[in-house]
Amino acid sequence: MVTSYTERAFIIFFRFTMGWTFLYAASHQVFEPNWSAVAFLQHTKTFHELFQIFTTPMMAPTTSFLVKYGHLLIGLSLISGLLVRVSASFGALLMLLYWLAHMDWPFIENKNNFIIDYHIVYAGVLGYLIATRAGTVFGLDGWLERRAAGSSAISRAAAR
């Protein structure tokens, strides 16, 4: 259980900043009718064959839809604090996939990032949000949890 003011402040900060990161990415994708994930996926190096599957004419529309609306839903979830453990899990998975896609082993994206880059840091922050049940800190997960506990107490009292 999160008890200290400082820990709650960090959880809220990380939840909002990660939520904003996903929402900002979605804003460039969802509202751009011609946006596609294909351009990003065609420039992969280390695991090119793996990611190439998602750029085929049959898969590209589905891949693009899942990426842009995945970003939107993850961002909204993190900002609102609703289903944070679920959305943060998907967010961490996406970050690990992006890390692999940027990899030109042992460098990530460019020669300045040796094995570790911001995708790994983001995945770690999302893992922290999962572990601390961040949605219960000033979020809708906590509100729903308190509401369910209150209705359980009312049900038990009525049964007596």
pLDDT band per the 50, 70, 90 thresholds, residue 1: low
pLDDT in tens, 79-99: 999 999 999 999 999 999 999
Alpha-carbon distance 40 to 36, whole Å?
8
3-state secondary structure 21-83: HHHHHHHHHCCCCCCCCHHHHCCCCCCHHHHHHHHCCCCHHHHHHHHHHHHHHHHHHHHHCCC
Alpha-carbon distance 16 to 47, whole Å?
32
Amino acid in position 113: N
Residue 111 three-state SS: strand
Mean pLDDT value across residues 152-160: 58
pLDDT of residue 142: 92
Residue 112 three-state SS: strand
Q: Are strands 103-104 and 110-114 parallel, antiparallel or unpaired?
A: unpaired
Type and span of the H or E element at 114: strand 110-114
Mean pLDDT value across residues 119-125: 97
CA 26-32-34 angle, to 5 degrees, is: 120
Mean pLDDT value across residues 111-123: 92
Task: Say yes or no to pLDDT of 35 above 90.
Answer: yes
The pTM score is 0.88
